[in-house]
Structure 1
Amino acid sequence: MEPRSLRARLPVGTLATDAVAAVIAEASTLGRVPVTAVDAEAATMAYTSERWFRRDGEAEIGFAPLSGFFRTRDGWVRTHANYPHHERALRDVLGLTGAAPGANDLDRARARLSALSTRDAVGIITRAGGLCVEVRHEDPVADGRLRASPLATVLRVADGPIATTAVDTSSPLRGVRVLDLTRVIAGPVATRTLALLGADVLRIDPPRMPEIAAQHLDTGHGKRSAVLDLDAADDRRRFDGLLPGADVVVLGYRPEALSRLRLDPRALCARHPSVIVARLSAWGREGGRGFDSLVQAASGIAWIESRDRITPGALPAQALDHTAGYALAAGVIAAMRRRLEVGGSWLVETSLRRVAAELLGMTRDRAGQLAEPADPSRYLQRFVVDGHDIVTAGPAVAYAGAPTRFTPPEPWGSADPVWLPR
């Protein structure tokens, strides 16, 4: 069985509790209620949520067979093929196309990659539209530069009127509209957290790229999910009609995609006074595609977590994703509070690579580890979604008057792309 604790060489448990504590502190300040301590067991469950997820009693979330570490002629690479389009690209470039996926795919992939240099493997897979990074050792100088900035930056980037939103103590984001353009884990964790605090969160996805169903259900609590093709004129008009009503726009697309879709964060802030734009990325403002596992590999975490110093390892959870999500949510709440005080448009940013630098800079001792909860059932929640019995981990964020349960997730793409009445 895969680990359900937060035990590692790096203090991933401390990273988790600090991230959740930041959200609790911001929500408590906005709601004017006392700050409460983090429930470490709830945080552990939330960070390992994919291990607890069940649909009709079956576990469904995990890495695809071609997602993993592969030895090259002169080192190691890490691939990511959980999404069908990334898997197709990887299979094409490794010569696995033409046959149904089978048990020998891994052997063929290993043989192909072992004959290539690390540089060539990364290059040919990336150029083909796949995902592959070199497994590197940590770079303390680069990490130090990243830590010179806050885990999530919160900047006022344009003038605007002071917001007049009334704050509900138990639901400090009640009446706040959040337009969610994120995928995978980190962004959805951020917007799930905002929904827990009362926000009306509307997630928009392109129809040609459905989210992994189990992953959506594990992070979709409290949100509505709609589908719009932003390259189609009619859908684009509907999307543009949502922007003036949004208090917060959360972006998870790469810089090139944001430019193509006319969703550059600073331009959005300029066009829509008082909007808060939150941007999440894998590598930072200039980086390309990436996932938690790839950032772990490229930042040095994989070698630190190696069990034998020969084969790279990994953290016991996708902790960079979850931490980035909570950090982004905390930043959005901080921006909401500042908007009530001084007005203006705000930009909140973080990245998985910035989170990795945070973890790598922490004191490495056993105090940073968290065990699996003694009674996990206390932290599990059950829902019926589209006729299926769903089990997920419950919220890690809690404070005086806060909801103790998530609102059930809704099926992907099932909502109309409209705002609810305030």
Structure 2
Amino acid sequence: MTDIKFAWSALGGDPALLAGVTAVVREDVLSARLPVRDLARACVGACALAAAELGACRTGRARTPAVRVDDGAVATAFVSERRLLVDGRAPVLFAPLSRFWRTSDGWVRTHANYPHHRERLLRALRLPADSGPAAVERSLTGRAALDVEEAVYAAGGLAVALRTLGEWAAHAQAVAIAARPLVERGRLDGARARAFAPLDGAPLLPAAGLRVLDLTRVLAGPVATRTLALLGADVLRIDAPHLPELVDQHADTGFGKRSALLDLAADRRAFEELLAAADVVVTGYRPGALDRFGLSPEALAERRPGLVVAQVSAWGAYGPWAARRGFDSLVQAATGIAATEGSAERPGALPAQALDHGTGYLLAAAVLRALTEQSHEGGSRFVRLALARTAAWLTEGARMGEVEGKGTVKGEPPVAGDARGQGEESGHDEGSGEGYGERDGGGRVGPESWLGEAESPIGRLRYALPPVSFDGGPHDWACPPGLWGADPAQWL
């Protein structure tokens, strides 16, 4: 099921266009028990096809440009945050308190990369503000995992108990997620059909001339808007001054964009001026968090008819966990992925933050498809995705007893250190692209084939090149990331 046909159908795409997609399959990338490689290829392929479709629409071509998906490029892009170098320095990916911890009855996964999340975690555990891993470990050893989960979330922090696939399937949030499509899509009003300016020249940039307000953080949303920037959109990321971004994270996901600071409460007039000229708004905060600023899809479309509103969250905009914060690593722990890739006694991790990256490419694809639909049918549009729903797609075969399906490896999964530092936080790179080989046994190629270098205000960057590829399309971003928050809050 984790194939491009399913993803393209979820996006509402014409199945006839799938004939124009080809793939370079590399069996030795993104190795895992779950079909991670298949999911990654499907998400990127669907995004590239959506871009090609919009490009054909805007150029008046009868035929959609051919799409080529290379597993090597996809695998490299899915670990872009690990491939990044800033002036030769490897990125800092996870803070010391972001990891798995043993509890009295199992395991709990915490996330404390941001200072305010770290402070809330320690407060929930009744520990001093300067406490380190040893103190947290002692505190959690004598507590039940579910009790920790509830206490930390009640304090505004992030912690999730490790669950098996079966335990998660019985959870009320999983039941709510299962009732929803992979990509939620809808029409908000009867706004007139979008009239695109024609495109010419090279490369073909399907999103050229479109303005995207980027209200996202960590990692799926920024991946989506980074992709829209690749395709020619003017992407302006807006952050609150009191919520600073992690430097390396901004360097990885800021390609092609501009970055500005704006207090949505104090600078409301400035935001409304940006909204009045925007074509797309992408939000990545937990459901309902931005509604008090009048940023629900319905409120935005009322003030800006013809808008496309794209939303991504961890757990979905429904069910008992709708208002909870979350990250890829937490969703892996809760939904049974970590237990499947390891075991209930020793949790593992996917070879990439595949829920984040995969959902990000699907989100970009959903925006592109909404724009194409607007050109024919009109209407303000909304699209909505959730990491937990993508996780359900990934684990569907495993939940049906088909763990060793297409795109998986048999036997024990890759192991990275002990369970305190599994996967992301340990710098684990299994399956991320080393030793790529052609399916037919041809010449071997390494991940360097899909890496670029550029000077930037941040420093000299080595980075993963974009995996979205179609005939005549761009091969790299128009510009590297600038300094976080350094741009004016205005359109070019």
TM-score, with structure 2 as normaliser: 0.80
**Which has the higher mean CA deviation after the structures are superposed, 186-195 or 246-255?**
246-255
How far did 1:231 drift? 2.0
State how 1:166-181 maps to structure 2 within 5 Å.
166-168=197-199, 170-181=204-215
How far did 1:18 drift? 0.2
Distance 1:341 1:111 in 2: 61
Q: Aligned to 1:391, which of 436, 459, 462?
A: 462
Percent sequence identity is: 47
Match of 1:342 in 2: 377
Match of 2:290, SS state, is helix
Matched, 1:65 2:104: no
Contact in 1 for aligned 2:282/2:311 (Cα 8 Å): yes
Match of 1:89 in 2: 120
AA aligned opposite 2:51:
A
Distance 1:93 1:153 in 2: 35
How far did 1:109 drift? 1.0
Contact in 1 for aligned 2:65/2:472 (Cα 8 Å): no
How far did 1:95 drift? 4.3
Contact in 1 for aligned 2:78/2:353 (Cα 8 Å): yes
Contact in 2 for aligned 1:254/1:289 (Cα 8 Å): yes
Match of 1:123 in 2: 150
Q: Aligned to 1:113, which of 129, 140, 154?
A: 140
Q: Aligned to 2:189, which of 136, 153, 158?
A: 158
Cα deviation, 1:283-333, whole Å, max 9, x if unaligned, reads 000321000000111111011011x55111111111000011001100000
Match of 2:407 in 1: 368
Match of 1:402 in 2: 473
Matched, 1:183 2:217: yes
Cα deviation, 1:373-406, whole Å, max 9, x if unaligned, reads 3322221111222251111101010111111112
State how 1:199-238 maps to structure 2 within 5 Å.
199-232=233-266, 235-238=267-270
Q: Aligned to 2:272, which of 240, 251, 261?
A: 240
How far did 1:21 drift? 0.5
Distance 1:158 1:106 in 2: 51
Match of 1:266 in 2: 298
Match of 2:85 in 1: 54
Match of 2:339 in 1: 303
Contact in 2 for aligned 1:24/1:35 (Cα 8 Å): no
Q: 1:342 to 1:267 in 2, by over 3 A?
A: same
Distance 1:340 1:31 in 2: 12
Contact in 2 for aligned 1:278/1:349 (Cα 8 Å): yes
Contact in 1 for aligned 2:457/2:481 (Cα 8 Å): no
Contact in 1 for aligned 2:193/2:374 (Cα 8 Å): yes
AA aligned opposite 1:399:
F
TM-score, with structure 1 as normaliser: 0.92
AA aligned opposite 2:359:
A
Contact in 2 for aligned 1:177/1:245 (Cα 8 Å): yes
Alignment gaps of 5+ in structure 1: none
Matched, 1:328 2:352: no
Q: 1:75 to 1:157 in 2, by over 3 A?
A: same
AA aligned opposite 2:389:
R
AA aligned opposite 1:249:
V
Match of 1:40 in 2: 71
How far did 1:415 drift? 0.8
Q: Report how many aligned residue pairs link the two structures.
A: 410
Cα deviation, 1:67-89, whole Å, max 9, x if unaligned, reads 11112222221100111111121
How far did 1:62 drift? 1.7
Matched, 1:6 2:78: no
How far did 1:27 drift? 1.0
Contact in 2 for aligned 1:24/1:399 (Cα 8 Å): yes
Match of 2:52 in 1: 28
How far did 1:125 drift? 1.4
Alignment gaps of 5+ in structure 2: 1-27, 57-63, 409-430, 437-444
